[in-house]
Amino acid sequence: MALDTHPSSPNGVVFFERRELDQLMRLYGRMVAAGEWRDYGIAGLADRAVFSIFRHAAEAPLYRVEKHPALSRKQGAWAVFGQGGQILKRGHELTQVLRLFEKGKFSVVD
Protein backbone atom coordinates (compact mmCIF):
# COMPACT_ATOMS: atom_id res chain seq x y z
CA MET A 1 0.00 0.00 0.00
CA ALA A 2 1.44 3.38 -0.97
CA LEU A 3 1.27 6.03 1.72
CA ASP A 4 1.78 8.95 -0.63
CA THR A 5 -0.06 12.18 0.17
CA HIS A 6 0.96 14.24 -2.82
CA PRO A 7 -2.01 14.96 -5.13
CA SER A 8 0.09 14.27 -8.19
CA SER A 9 1.10 10.78 -7.07
CA PRO A 10 1.46 8.21 -9.85
CA ASN A 11 -1.94 6.65 -9.17
CA GLY A 12 -3.64 10.04 -8.47
CA VAL A 13 -4.75 9.10 -4.94
CA VAL A 14 -4.32 11.10 -1.73
CA PHE A 15 -3.62 8.95 1.30
CA PHE A 16 -2.45 9.25 4.91
CA GLU A 17 1.21 9.22 5.88
CA ARG A 18 2.38 6.57 8.33
CA ARG A 19 2.57 9.00 11.30
CA GLU A 20 -0.96 10.26 10.53
CA LEU A 21 -2.33 6.72 10.44
CA ASP A 22 -0.56 6.03 13.71
CA GLN A 23 -2.30 8.99 15.39
CA LEU A 24 -5.68 7.98 13.97
CA MET A 25 -5.29 4.34 15.02
CA ARG A 26 -4.18 5.28 18.57
CA LEU A 27 -7.30 7.42 18.96
CA TYR A 28 -9.45 4.66 17.46
CA GLY A 29 -7.96 2.07 19.83
CA ARG A 30 -8.70 4.24 22.88
CA MET A 31 -12.29 4.79 21.80
CA VAL A 32 -12.85 1.09 21.05
CA ALA A 33 -11.50 0.23 24.51
CA ALA A 34 -13.97 2.75 25.97
CA GLY A 35 -16.81 1.04 24.06
CA GLU A 36 -17.68 4.11 21.98
CA TRP A 37 -16.57 3.03 18.51
CA ARG A 38 -16.75 -0.35 16.79
CA ASP A 39 -15.48 -0.08 13.21
CA TYR A 40 -13.58 2.16 10.82
CA GLY A 41 -13.03 2.63 7.12
CA ILE A 42 -10.25 4.28 5.14
CA ALA A 43 -10.60 5.74 1.66
CA GLY A 44 -8.02 7.33 -0.58
CA LEU A 45 -9.67 9.54 -3.18
CA ALA A 46 -8.35 11.82 -5.92
CA ASP A 47 -8.66 15.00 -3.83
CA ARG A 48 -8.75 13.77 -0.22
CA ALA A 49 -8.18 10.91 2.20
CA VAL A 50 -10.99 9.90 4.57
CA PHE A 51 -10.92 8.00 7.89
CA SER A 52 -14.53 7.10 8.77
CA ILE A 53 -15.55 6.04 12.27
CA PHE A 54 -18.60 3.84 12.89
CA ARG A 55 -20.54 2.66 15.90
CA HIS A 56 -21.84 -0.26 13.80
CA ALA A 57 -20.57 -1.27 10.37
CA ALA A 58 -24.07 -1.14 8.84
CA GLU A 59 -24.64 2.51 9.80
CA ALA A 60 -23.49 5.84 8.45
CA PRO A 61 -20.21 7.01 10.01
CA LEU A 62 -20.38 8.89 13.33
CA TYR A 63 -17.35 10.96 12.34
CA ARG A 64 -15.14 11.46 9.30
CA VAL A 65 -11.60 12.74 9.61
CA GLU A 66 -10.63 14.13 6.21
CA LYS A 67 -7.34 15.30 4.78
CA HIS A 68 -7.63 17.82 1.92
CA PRO A 69 -4.11 18.78 0.77
CA ALA A 70 -5.52 21.47 -1.56
CA LEU A 71 -6.84 23.40 1.49
CA SER A 72 -3.59 23.24 3.47
CA ARG A 73 -2.74 26.91 2.96
CA LYS A 74 -6.29 28.22 3.36
CA GLN A 75 -8.53 26.68 6.03
CA GLY A 76 -6.22 23.81 6.92
CA ALA A 77 -5.85 20.39 5.39
CA TRP A 78 -7.65 18.58 8.24
CA ALA A 79 -11.34 18.51 9.16
CA VAL A 80 -13.61 16.42 11.37
CA PHE A 81 -17.17 16.03 10.10
CA GLY A 82 -20.12 14.90 12.20
CA GLN A 83 -22.81 12.42 11.22
CA GLY A 84 -24.93 15.08 9.52
CA GLY A 85 -22.03 16.40 7.47
CA GLN A 86 -21.38 19.46 9.63
CA ILE A 87 -17.76 20.48 10.23
CA LEU A 88 -16.96 19.99 13.90
CA LYS A 89 -13.32 21.10 13.76
CA ARG A 90 -10.90 22.26 11.08
CA GLY A 91 -7.17 22.96 11.28
CA HIS A 92 -3.70 22.81 9.84
CA GLU A 93 -2.40 19.98 12.10
CA LEU A 94 -3.93 16.55 12.72
CA THR A 95 -3.06 16.68 16.43
CA GLN A 96 -4.96 19.95 16.81
CA VAL A 97 -8.04 18.56 15.05
CA LEU A 98 -8.06 15.30 17.05
CA ARG A 99 -8.22 17.27 20.32
CA LEU A 100 -11.96 17.35 19.65
CA PHE A 101 -12.06 13.76 20.93
CA GLU A 102 -10.19 14.37 24.19
CA LYS A 103 -11.85 12.90 27.25
CA GLY A 104 -14.51 15.16 28.70
CA LYS A 105 -14.81 17.44 25.66
CA PHE A 106 -17.57 15.49 23.95
CA SER A 107 -19.99 12.62 24.46
CA VAL A 108 -21.66 10.29 22.01
CA VAL A 109 -25.44 10.52 22.19
CA ASP A 110 -27.74 7.76 20.94
Query: Taking all residues of the chain, what is their mean pLDDT, rounded to a whole number?
Result: 84
What was the pLDDT predicted at 72? 83
In terms of pLDDT, which residue wins out, 58 or 50?
50
What was the pLDDT predicted at 8? 45
Mean pLDDT of 27-56: 91
What was the pLDDT predicted at 102? 84
Tell me the C-alpha distance between 76 and 22, whole Å: 20
Mean pLDDT of 17-36: 93
Tell me the C-alpha distance between 15 and 57, whole Å: 22
In terms of pLDDT, which residue wins out, 81 or 3?
81
What was the pLDDT predicted at 86? 93
